[in-house]
Amino acid sequence: MKTVEPIREIRTIRIMRSYLRDQSLRNELLFILGINVGLRISDILKLTFDDVINFKNMNAKEYVIITENKTSKTKKFYIGSIVSKLIEGYAATLEEVLPHMYVFCSKKSKNKPISRQHAWYILNNAAEMIGLVERDHDGKIICGEIGTHTMRKTFGYHAYTSGTTIELLMEIFNHSSKLQTLKYIGITEDQKKEVYLSSNLG
């Protein structure tokens, strides 16, 4: 399995968001929430409306507390204004919103979220349609590797390049070393590339 990379360009993020919005508000929310909270896809897909909506006023909550699927640890994350507006807008389009309903509900069953594989398909298909992923004649990916982990890595990459300390990101991602976090969000590869490109000896 190839390692997926973060989406580094803000312009590409916006194009991807626009494409997903044309598909559905659910798919747009999946992407925007994913790149803004840095959760694993397993934790995103198990979110219910009770987790993210204040049912007294139907506004998005300021923060969410979950138990991580992989680590079984309690995690608290905050919801910014872009994600809040999307959650509220998406909820307003549904016939009914009940606390136990999954946010990313499968169209085949109201009692199940979309699968991890379907989430991968949504993101990968969008990436291919906007030219982020290229395939050869046999359908094999030859350029760009996008997956559900791309969202989490994109969150980390842009947080770091915007000034968030590596120590804080280590805590958010529950990593054991700075190098692990830098490698995870694609910074080490960027740094290596810069070394090669800035070396113009001769």
User: Which residues are part of the catalytic machinery?
Assistant: 40, 70, 149, 152, 175, 184
**Tokens 């120590």 map to which residue?**
167
Please, how many CA atoms are within 13 Å of residue 52, restricted to the half-sphere of its CB?
Answer: 27
Q: Which amino acid is at 99?
A: P
> What pairing do the DSSP bridges indicate for beta strands 63-67 and 59-60?
unpaired
Question: What angle separates helix 25-37 from helix 81-93, to the nearest 10 degrees?
Answer: 160
For residue 96, count other CB atoms closer than 10 A to its CB: 7
d(CA 96, CA 114): 18
C-alpha dist (Å) from residue 33 to 126, 139, 148, 167, 195: 16, 29, 12, 23, 34
d(CA 30, CA 36): 10
